[in-house]
Amino acid sequence: MIIIFDYGHGGKDPGATYKGRHEADDVLRIGQAIAKRLRDAGVQIDETRTSNQALSLEQRVKMEWKKTYDFFISFHRNAFKPEVATGAEVFVYKSINAKSKPLADKIQSALVNVGFRNRGVKEAEFYVLKHTRAPALLLEIGFIDNSADNQLFDSKFEELVEGMAHAILAVAGGKKVDTCPACGQGVGL
C-alpha cells in the first residue's frame, strides 16, 4: 500500500485563518503525525510538502502522477463565518470511486467518534479530487473559525491521529491487530 498525503495551503497561502491560527499549520501538523503512525505500521506514505511551502494545485496533482498510489488524501480545515459552523466532513469526487467511498466513511466515522459534528461524506469536483489518478479524498477536519472545533482539534489531537490512522489501516492493512481507542475497531497496526 502506498498513499500520498497532501497538506493543503502553505507558504504565502496560510489557508483559512482565525485568531492567529493557520489552516496550513494545523493540517501539516496532524497529517505528519498520521503519516508517522502509518509508517510505523509499515505503510508507505509520500507527502506533497513537508514544511511551510507553497504549492499550486497543479503541482500537487503532478506529484501524485509520478507514482501509482492506492490513495491521495488531502488534509484541510474548514471555515465559514466565525463561530457559526461546526463539524467535520470528507469529500470524494462526484463519480465515486469504489475504493474512495469506503475509506471516506471510515475516516468520517473516526472524526465523529472524537466529537466533531457529522457533516457527512459528500461529493465534490475539487481540483485535487478530479485530476488525481488514485482514489482521492479531501478531509475537512473541523472549522478553524470555530472555537469549539479548535478546542476539540487540540484536546483530542492524539485520538484524532489514532482514529484516522486506524481508519486508513483498516483499508491498507498493517503489522498486527489492535483496537483503536477513538473508533473501537480492531484493525491492523
- Residue 18 sits at φ, ψ, to 5 deg, of -160, 120
Residue from 25, 60, 65 nearest 138 by CA: 60
Annotated catalytic residue, options 140, 158, 159, 162:
140
Query: Active-site residue 140, yes or no?
Result: yes
CA angle 110, 113, 116 (to 5 degrees): 95
Residue from 1, 89, 12, 98 nearest 46 by CA: 1
147-155 and 157-172 helices cross at what angle (nearest 10)?
70
Beta strand spans in the chain (E): 2-7, 17-18, 21-22, 44-47, 71-78, 88-93, 118-124, 136-143, 177-179, 186-188
- Residue 97 sits at φ, ψ, to 5 deg, of -80, 140
What is the set of active-site residues? 140
